[in-house]
Amino acid sequence: MKDISETRARLKGIFNITVTPFTANGDIDTAGFARSIERVIGLGYDGILIGGTYGEFPAMSTEERADLFRHAMNVAGDRVPVMLCSAHSDIRVVKDLTRLAGELGGLPMVTPPYVSEVTDGQIVSFFRDMAPLSKTGILVYNAPGIGITLSPAILEQLADIDNVAGVKQGDLTPTAIDQIANRIGGRIRLFCASDLAFLGPMMAGFDGISSTNSCALPELILDTYRALEKGDATTARDLHRIWYSFRALARKHGQPQTTKAAMNLRGFDGGSVRAPLRNLEKPVIEEIAKVLETLRGDTRTQVTLAA
């Protein structure tokens, strides 16, 4: 993407949150990372998100993250829009990664600042400072799990900032979704941050979703999204129900740990997680394998397992 206009035009649909595969000794498996990107682009995903929370950015150095940005853009090229997470507790790092993401043609995804007792006015000022740094604009990530939840009222103010392209909304409470969809929908792009419960936000008028579990179940989640996109809510609902058992395991054992374990069982490049996360133990992996086996038996899923 070359500027904010192109970003706004292309920022819609289903984006794969690509996990970062680490080797057993903690190195980034760049070849496996590239194969994961190629897989979802080949299947028809509308975009990818690199180095986010489930991409384990807090466990990487700034230099590793910058290298991951470059590698992702080299692989994806201009075939699909690429979100690049530039979040950090150090505002100097946020600035550097935000500039780099824009220079590479990606869309920097920026979270609120990680500081104690920050005021609403300071949050808005922070995003005003970040937005001009990227020629492609910025994506505001409303990430309650990180520690700050942006209210619909604050998001309304952020939507007025010229270079804000969209919001990735992690607070999926019905009231917040309803307010955001109706107050700022159409002004900037709205993305649902979770594939665990995306049917509601999409029906409310959101422009797209980002999906971690599509690394493990790319065919099924893509089919679910496309059905909803076509207005076939019944099929979308039925397909979403199929993988509830997997979602339950993800909620219980964590992401991206569960996603990576499932990827490995399918012969994909999940790799390992990096400390402080821990790879799942054998009994849990056996639970995941049983769920995948059940999904494989359903002709609607296209799920296969490694030989």
By the 8 A CB rule, do 104 and 69 touch? yes
Q: What one-character DSSP code corresponds to residue 119?
A: -
Q: DSSP assignment of 185-230, as one string? A: BTTBEEEES-SSS-HHHHHHT--EEEESGGGTSHHHHHHHHHHHHT
Mean pLDDT for the stretch of residues 149-155: 95
State the catalytic residues: 141, 168
Alpha carbon of residue 285 to chain centroid: 23
Whether residue 9 has pLDDT greater than 70? yes
Give the pLDDT confidence of 69-96 residue by residue, as tens digits.
Answer: 999 999 999 999 999 999 999 999 999 9
Structure tokens at 234: 């019944």
Nearest to 81 by CA among 158, 169, 16, 159: 16
Q: How does 82-97 read in b/e, with b if 16+ C-beta sit within 10 Å?
A: bbbbbbbeeeebbbbb
Give the pLDDT confidence of 234-284 residue by residue, as tens digits.
Answer: 999 999 999 999 999 999 999 999 999 999 999 999 999 999 999 999 999
Supply the pLDDT for residue 238: 95
Measure the CA–CA gap between 202 and 229, rounded to whole angstroms: 8
**CA-based torsion, 31, 278, 170, 172: positive or negative:** positive
Supply the pLDDT for residue 307: 58
Give the pLDDT confidence of 116-146 residue by residue, as tens digits.
Answer: 788 999 999 999 999 999 999 999 999 887 7
Mean pLDDT for the stretch of residues 101-116: 93
Measure the CA–CA gap between 18 and 225, rounded to whole angstroms: 17
**Residues whose CB falls within 8 Å of the CB of residue 243, separated by 6 or more in sequence, listed in order:** 213, 217, 220, 221, 295, 301
Average pLDDT, the chain: 95
Torsion over CA of 202, 228, 50 and 91, rounded to 10 degrees?
Answer: -10
Whether residue 215 has pLDDT greater than 80? yes
Whether residue 147 has pLDDT greater than 80? no
User: Does a cis peptide bond (omega within 30 degrees of 0) precede residue 112?
Assistant: no
Structure tokens at 109: 């995804």
Q: Which domains are delineated in the chain?
A: 4-231 (3.20.20.70)
Q: What pTM value is reported for the model?
A: 0.96
Supply the pLDDT for residue 115: 79
Measure the CA–CA gap between 152 and 226, rounded to whole angstroms: 28
Q: DSSP assignment of 222-258, as one string? A: HHHHHHHHTT-HHHHHHHHHHTHHHHHHHHHH-TTHH
Whether residue 50 has pLDDT greater than 80? yes
Lowest mean pLDDT among 97-111, 135-149, 167-181: 135-149
Q: Looking at 6-121, which runs of residues are DSSP E strands?
A: 13-18, 47-50, 82-85, 107-110
